[in-house]
Amino acid sequence: MTTLASPLPSRERPGEGGRHSADLAARRAPRDLTPLLVAPAALFLLATFAYPFLYGLVLALTPKEGGFLGNYARFFADPFLYDTILTTLRLAIPVTLLNLVLAVPIALRVRRMRRQRILTAILVVPVTLGTVLVAEGLLAYLGPQGWFNRTLMLLGVISTPIRLVHNYWGVFLSLVITGFPFTFLLTLSYLSGIDPALERAAATLGAGPARRFRHILLPLILPGLAVTFCLSFVQAFAVFPSAVLLGAPAGPTRVISIAAYQAAFEQYDDSMASAIAILMGAVELAVVAAILGARSLVYRGPAGGGKG
């Protein structure tokens, strides 16, 4: 305000205007300590994130044997190690896509419900349970003697139990269950951000439900879905407990975090474990960058229909 208003009066009363701005300069410029307020947070981040991260980076570059990049060379020379990347991607990408595909129609429906909160609360329960508890529960439920198989056999749908645990599908299902609420909540919030008048306008212009979704809703939530994909994917890519408990950790679900765990706690090779962790981060980063890159190609503005 002061700077905006000063030019006019200062022309009429140059002395006073000049003194005024000089006062301001003397009062403000040299002793502005406001930026220091960021220091505690910066220190905290430095101590808990930057230092451990840099420590790991350096640790990974000082392998037990070989040169600088010895760990990485070993990782990419050994299929038992480098296959874990593909194994993890094979789990994380389909799981994330399935969660998105499930979340969109459910969120579309829930958005219109009156008792939205109750349903949302029910759907969110798996998040609060934690992955280990869900894995334990699924182990019993989906096992050969579990309710799922017994019910199917009782109904005569199958004659022998289907194997749903200690293989790919066990991990897959547990990731869907624990990941869905998160994906759903994010999707719901993006959908709720769309002005309902847009759909009404599209309807009066002759668009039925399917075309309203295709031409209005989908383009408007696409950027949000991209972000949701990234966050859900990163979560699924770091899978560990359910891969061990519900999967076949020696084979089909030997995910990359298991490789890191074994390096650290079975071979006591901290350097190799760090290198694997960094590769894990690199893969996640690559996928996220690809998705966000694609996101920048679509409309990302507000999802309102005009002036409020």
Q: Which lies closer to another protein via its Cβ, residue 134 or residue 202?
A: 202
* 11 touches another protein (CB under 8 A): no
Based on the shown chain and the rule CB under 8 A, indicate whether residue 214 belongs to the binding site for another protein: no
Which residues, 6 or more positions from 65, have their beta carbon under 8 angstroms from its beta carbon?
A: none
> Least Å distance between CB 192 and another protein?
16
Closer residue to another protein, CB minimum distance, 15 or 306: 306
Least separation, in Å, of the C-beta of 146 and another protein? 46
Could you tell me the smallest distance in angstroms from the CB atom of residue 178 to another protein?
33
Q: Is residue 216 at the binding interface for another protein, with CB under 8 A as the rule?
A: yes
CB 170 within 8 A of CB 131: no
Please report how the helices 256-265 and 79-110 are oriented relative to each other, as an axis angle in degrees rounded to 10: 130
Regarding 211 and contact with another protein (CB under 8 A), the answer is yes
Question: Are the C-beta atoms of residues 258 and 240 closer than 8 Å to each other?
Answer: yes
64 binds another protein (CB under 8 A): no
Cα–Cα distance list, 144 to 139, 164, 171 (Å): 9, 8, 16
Kindly state whether residue 306 participates in binding another protein, applying the rule CB under 8 A: yes
DSSP for 131-181? Answer: HHHHHHHHHHHHSTTSHHHHHHHHTTS-SS----SSSHHHHHHHHHHHHHH
Q: Which stretch binds another protein (CB under 8 A): 23-31, 97-105, 195-203, 247-255?
A: 195-203
Question: What is the CA 174 to chain-centroid distance, rounded?
Answer: 17
Tokens representing 83? 């296959």
Nearer CB in complex with another protein: 81/226: 226
Contacting residue, 201, 227, 231, 248, with another protein by CB under 8 A: 201
Q: Is there a contact between 140 and 89 (Cβ–Cβ < 8 Å)?
A: no
Decide if residue 206 touches another protein (CB under 8 A): yes
Nearer to another protein, 19 or 214 (CB): 214
Number of residues that bind another protein (CB under 8 A): 27
Report the residue from 14, 66, 193, 304 that binds another protein according to the rule CB under 8 A. Answer: 304
303 scored as a contact of another protein (CB under 8 A): yes
- Of 90 and 111, CB closest to another protein: 111
Shortest distance (Å) from residue 198 CB to another protein: 5
Rounded to 5°, angle at Cα 15 from 14 and 17 = 65
Q: What is the Cα–Cα distance from 278 to 270, expressed in whole angstroms?
A: 12
Sign of the CA dihedral running 72, 75, 78, 79: negative
Phi-psi region of 268 (alpha: psi -120 to 50; beta: other; left: phi over 0): left
Region of 3-11, 104-112, 216-224, 258-266 interacting with another protein (CB under 8 A): 216-224
* Distances from the Cα of 245 to the Cα of 14, 168, 227, 261, angstroms: 79, 11, 29, 14
User: Contact residues for another protein (CB under 8 A)?
Assistant: 195, 197-198, 200-208, 211, 215-216, 219-220, 298-299, 301-308
